[in-house]
C-alpha cells in the first residue's frame, strides 16, 4: 500500500508558485508510516490529468490531489476525477449553505460561480474546509483506491489534512508505524567521496541511508520505520554513530544544526569570543552568526571592509601588501583577521576576501577565488584558499565562502 501526491495547477509548472504542498504532505505521510514513491505536477488540463490518474492508480492505492477546486473555469480537478471513474457529479446543498454563510460573514453575497464548488462525485464524502469555500472529498471509487482532494492554498489545506484526513487514515489502520528520519550534515567532503566511504550503509533495509547534496554541504538521511519515534531512534542510533566515526571531522551536525550554530556552541562552551572581517561576503557571515539566538554571548561584531581603504585604515592591513599581492590574497586575509581580532579585542578573528563575480575575475585570480583568514589566541594565524568556480553564481559563492570560514574555525576549535 502506497500513496501518490498529485499537485494540479499550471502555475506550478510555470514556476510562479513554489510547491510547498508536496513537501508538507510527504512529511505528513512519513509520520503516518505511509510509503509514497511518486509525486506528480500536472497543469489545468483534463486530458493530461486523466493520464496522470491512469498511471497513479496502477502504482498507488491512496491518491492525494491538491489544487483545482476553485470556482473558475480552469478549476477542473473534481469533475475530471468523476469523469475518469464514470461517475456523475451531484450538487450538495449543505456545501452551498456553508459557502453562503462564509460569504455572509465577510459581508458579501455568494457568486453564482461558487456553486461549482458544491459539485462532488456521487458517493464521495465531504472533506470540510473550515476556512475557505472549496471543500475537498474523501472517496473510494474502487475498493482498492482512496482519493483525497484539497485546495491548493496551504492555509486551507493544512487544517483539512490534520483535522479530517489524518483521523480517517488512522481509522483505516494507518499511523501504527512511522517513518522517522535524521539528517546528518557534512562539510569539506563531496557527495561522491562520502558515498564511497559509506557505500555498504547505502544498502541497508531498515534503517535506510541516502546521500544528497546542496549549497556546499552533503547530507546523509537515515530513515527508520518503527512503531514510534523512540523505537526508530533506537534503530538509527548505532548507524548514526558508525557514520560519524567514518566521516570524522567532516561531520558537523544533525537536522537543524548549522555551521554557525555549531561554532557558536563551541565558543560558548570554551567561553571565547569571535569577530569577523568581510569583503566579498558583504556581511553574510555576520548575518549567519547573528541569526542564532543568544549569539551576543560570543559574537562581538564585524567589519565589512569592501574597499581597500577600509582594509588598510580600519583593519590595519599593510598598504604595500595590498599593492603587491592584491586584496584577494592569503596575506591580506590573514591581516584582516588579525586586525579585526585586535580592534574588537576578541579571542578569534575570522576574515573572508575573494571574487564573488560575475565580474572582477582575471586569469590569475578568477571568479570564485576566495581566501579565509583565521587569527586566534597566542598570535596564531592561518589562511585557507578556495576556488569555488563561476558556475555556482554570486549568491552561492558568498554563501559557501561564509560557511567555509565557519568550518575552518569549527575544526580548529575541535582539534587544538
Name the residue with higher pLDDT: 74 or 294: 294
Q: Does residue 407 have a cis bond before it (omega within 30 degrees)?
A: no
Q: What is the DSSP string of 144-171?
A: TEEEEEE-S-HHHHHHHIIIIIHHHHHH
- Domain boundaries defined on the chain: 3-172, 178-254, 259-415
pLDDT at residue 175 greater than cutoff 90 = no
Phi, psi for 18 (deg, rounded to 5): -75, 135
Q: Are strands 3-8 and 62-66 parallel, antiparallel or unpaired?
A: parallel
Do residues 351 and 337 lie in contact, with contact meaning Cβ atoms separated by under 8 Å?
A: yes
C-alpha cell of 48? 493530461
Q: How confident is the model at residue 1 (pLDDT cuts 50, 70, 90)?
A: confident
Choose among 166, 147, 164: nearest CA to 64. 147
What value does the mean pLDDT take over residues 172-191? Answer: 93
Fold matches, 178-254 and 259-415? no
Of the pLDDT bands very low, low, confident and very high (cuts 50, 70, 90), residue 247 is: very high
Is residue 340 within 8 Å of residue 329, measured between CB atoms? Answer: no
Residue pLDDT, tens place only, 117-145 = 999 999 999 999 999 999 999 999 999 99
pLDDT tens digits, residue range 10-46? 999 999 999 999 999 999 999 999 999 999 999 999 9
What is the pLDDT at residue 391? 65
- The DSSP letter of residue 124 is P
Query: What's the CATH architecture for 259-415?
Result: Alpha-Beta Complex (3.90)
CB 279 within 8 Å of CB 405: no
Q: What are phi and psi of 224, to 5 degrees?
A: -130, 145
| CATH number of the domain located at residue range(s) 178-254 in this protein | 3.30.70.2860
Q: Domain 3-172: state its class.
A: alpha beta
Cell for 25?
A: 504532505
Amino acid at each position: 500500500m502506497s500513496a501518490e501526491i498529485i499537485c494540479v495547477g499550471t502555475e506550478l509548472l510555470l514556476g510562479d508558485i513554489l510547491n510547498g504542498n508536496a513537501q508538507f504532505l510527504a512529511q505528513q505521510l512519513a509520520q503516518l508510516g505511509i510509503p509514497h514513491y511518486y509525486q506528480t505536477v500536472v497543469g489545468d488540463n483534463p486530458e493530461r490529468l486523466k493520464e496522470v490518474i491512469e498511471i497513479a492508480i496502477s502504482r498507488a492505492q491512496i491518491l492525494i490531489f491538491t489544487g483545482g477546486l476553485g470556482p473558475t473555469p480552469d478549476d477542473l480537478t473534481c469533475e475530471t476525477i468523476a469523469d475518469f471513474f464514470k461517475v456523475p457529479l451531484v450538487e450538495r446543498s449543505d456545501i452551498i449553505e456553508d459557502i453562503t454563510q462564509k460569504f455572509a460573514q465577510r459581508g458579501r453575497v455568494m457568486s453564482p460561480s461558487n456553486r461549482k464548488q458544491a459539485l462532488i462525485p456521487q458517493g464521495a464524502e465531504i472533506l470540510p474546509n473550515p476556512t475557505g469555500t472549496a471543500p475537498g472529498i474523501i472517496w473510494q471509487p474502487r475498493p482498492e483506491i482512496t482519493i483525497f482532494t484539497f485546495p491548493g492554498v496551504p492555509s486551507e489545506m493544512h487544517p483539512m489534512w490534520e483535522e479530517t484526513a489524518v483521523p480517517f487514515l488512522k481509522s483505516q489502520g494507518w499511523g501504527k508505524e512511522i517513518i522517522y528520519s535524521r539528517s546528518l550534515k557534512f562539510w569539506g567532503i563531496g557527495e561522491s567521496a562520502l558515498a564511497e566511504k559509506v557505500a555498504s550503509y547505502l544498502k541497508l533495509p531498515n534503517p535506510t541511508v541516502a546521500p544528497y547534496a546542496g549549497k556546499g554541504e552533503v547530507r546523509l538521511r537515515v530513515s527508520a520505520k518503527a512503531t514510534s519515534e523512540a523505537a526508530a531512534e533506537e534503530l538509527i542510533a548505532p548507524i548514526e554513530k558508525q557514520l560519524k566515526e567514518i566521516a570524522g571531522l567532516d561531520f558537523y551536525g544533525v537536522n537543524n544544526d548549522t555551521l554557525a550554530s555549531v561554532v557558536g556552541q563551541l565558543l560558548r562552551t570554551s567561553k571565547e569570543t569571535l569577530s569577523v572581517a568581510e569583503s566579498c561576503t558583504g556581511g553574510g557571515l555576520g548575518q549567519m552568526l547573528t541569526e542564532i539566538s543568544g549569539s551576543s554571548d560570543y559574537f562581538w561584531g564585524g567589519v565589512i571592509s569592501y574597499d581597500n581603504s577600509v582594509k588598510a585604515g580600519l583593519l590595519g592591513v599593510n598598504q604595500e601588501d595590498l599593492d603587491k599581492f592584491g586584496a584577494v590574497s592569503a596575506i591580506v586575509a590573514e591581516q584582516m583577521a588579525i586586525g579585526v581580532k585586535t580592534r574588537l579585542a576578541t579571542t578569534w578573528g575570522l576574515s573572508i576576501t575573494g571574487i564573488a563575480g560575475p565580474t572582477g575575475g582575471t586569469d590569475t585570480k578568477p571568479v570564485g577565488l576566495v581566501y579565509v583568514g583565521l587569527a586566534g589566541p597566542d598570535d596564531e594565524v592561518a589562511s585557507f584558499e578556495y576556488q569555488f568556480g563561476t558556475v555556482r553564481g554570486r549568491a552561492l559563492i558568498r554563501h559557501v565562502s561564509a560557511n567555509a570560514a565557519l568550518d575552518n574555525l569549527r575544526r580548529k576549535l575541535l582539534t587544538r
